[in-house]
């Protein structure tokens, strides 16, 4: 919806007031998808290739069928929690509260890494491993009471939680402590210190849960100014992936039951844009392409960064539509496509076959 279009919810309220007629209950929307489309329509540094998107849809669907991608795929990883209870909700909330900025300028052997269960973990998995290791060591890292205790939850304790096998410290350590403190305070003030109560407040709506996260927690409010548009562009990567992780961990049941889960978009980070570019689905202007290939940092919230993230969201949505058009019976959504694309680019990276690097942006948003 553009700035000069009427707000449908406001119109409904006006009708109710002026005509005295009851209005239908409107289901919540995150606005992420419509904002992504707006950016894509007004982008000058990022463009979508429709033929490549269509070809990618066929390839992605075939591979997802081959690997039997489903919500249960999430719990199959050895590091993800297996229990279907409140402890898993607390783990996921903590995990996605801190799920940002793991890339390094250093060679792989020197980058931040976590040693756990006789394996070396980097990137996102270093976070999950660090949290599991902390719990094994008796550090209540997933307890919001702990986050609020300034004597117990200190920067030094976090350094212990994220103790690396190398000399490199996890990026943005102080910012992670700020996120824990803020989230602990909000959970105390509004949700009786319980992420489960936050989920219950969403009343079975994925979109409402995303909005609650963005409205109540500043560290989940991933929205940014774009060009001359008055309203900020909502991307909400970590808020959306938190909802998706709960959905996947509980396989759409219990705490993970959301009637509108398909309103969740892909999670705009730096890995999925990388593989979409590799597949030819999105293309960059020469200056942006050079910046990415030269591994120069792109400022968080800059026009080019917002274009990359928003266009990736819209690109995955078009891929999803192509899959549904060709296979109406397919149970596929943007979440599963994102999980698949992320896993695929990590496999390509592990094999040393990356043809283009991911972009570099240092922020708490991803």
Catalytic site positions = 269
Separation between Cα atoms, residue 51 and residue 5, nearest integer Å: 31
- Each residue of 105-119: b (16+ CB within 10 Å) or e? eeeeeebbbbbbeee
For the chain, the distance separating the N- and C-terminal CA atoms, rounded to the nearest angstrom, is: 26
The sign of the dihedral angle between the CA atoms of 290, 293, 297, 303 is positive
Separation between Cα atoms, residue 43 and residue 64, nearest integer Å: 30
DSSP of 166-222, one letter per residue? Answer: SSPPPTTHHHHHHHHHHHHHHHHHHSTT-HHHHHHHTTT-HHHHHHHHHHH-GGG--
CA distances from 153 to 17, 143, 156, 303 (A): 50, 10, 8, 37
> Do 74 and 337 touch, CB atoms closer than 8 A?
no
Separation between Cα atoms, residue 62 and residue 72, nearest integer Å: 18
CA angle, 326 as apex, 337 and 269 as ends, to 5°? 20
Q: Under DSSP, is residue 321 helix (H, G, I), strand (E, B) or coil?
A: helix
> Do 222 and 237 touch, CB atoms closer than 8 A?
yes
The structure tokens listed for 197 are 């109560």
């Amino acid at each position: 919806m553009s700035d000069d279009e009427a707000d449908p919810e406001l119109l409904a309220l006006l009708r109710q007031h002026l005509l005295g007629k009851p209005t239908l209950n409107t289901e919540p929307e995150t606005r992420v998808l419509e904002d992504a489309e707006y950016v894509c329509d007004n982008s000058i540094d990022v463009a979508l290739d429709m033929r490549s998107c269509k070809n990618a849809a066929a390839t992605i669907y075939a591979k997802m069928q081959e690997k039997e991608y489903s919500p249960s795929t999430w719990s199959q990883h050895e590091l993800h929690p297996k229990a279907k209870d409140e402890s898993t909700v607390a783990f996921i909330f903590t995990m996605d509260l801190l799920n940002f900025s793991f890339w390094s300028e250093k060679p792989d052997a020197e980058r931040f890494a976590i040693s756990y269960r006789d394996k070396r973990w980097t990137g996102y998995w270093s976070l999950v491993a660090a949290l599991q290791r902390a719990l094994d060591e008796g550090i209540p890292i997933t307890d919001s009471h702990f986050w609020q205790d300034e004597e117990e939850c200190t920067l030094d304790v976090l350094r212990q939680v994220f103790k690396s096998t190398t000399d490199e410290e996890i990026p943005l350590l102080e910012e992670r402590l700020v996120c824990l403190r803020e989230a602990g305070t909000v959970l105390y003030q509004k949700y009786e210190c319980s992420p489960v109560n936050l989920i219950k407040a969403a009343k079975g709506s994925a979109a409402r849960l995303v909005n609650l996260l963005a409205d109540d927690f500043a560290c989940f409010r991933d929205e940014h100014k774009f060009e001359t548009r008055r309203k900020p562009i909502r991307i909400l990567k970590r808020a959306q992936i938190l909802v998706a992780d709960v959905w996947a961990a509980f396989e759409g049941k219990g705490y993970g039951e959301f009637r509108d889960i398909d309103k969740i978009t892909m999670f705009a980070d730096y890995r999925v844009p990388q593989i979409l570019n590799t597949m030819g689905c999105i293309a960059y202007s020469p200056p942006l392409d050079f910046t990415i290939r030269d591994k120069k940092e792109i400022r968080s919230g800059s026009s080019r960064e917002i274009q990359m993230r928003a266009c990736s969201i819209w690109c995955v949505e078009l891929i999803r539509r192509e899959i549904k058009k060709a296979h109406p019976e397919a149970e596929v959504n943007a979440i599963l496509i994102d999980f698949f694309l992320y896993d695929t680019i990590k496999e390509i990276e592990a094999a040393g076959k990356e043809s283009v690097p991911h972009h570099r942006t240092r922020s708490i948003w991803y």
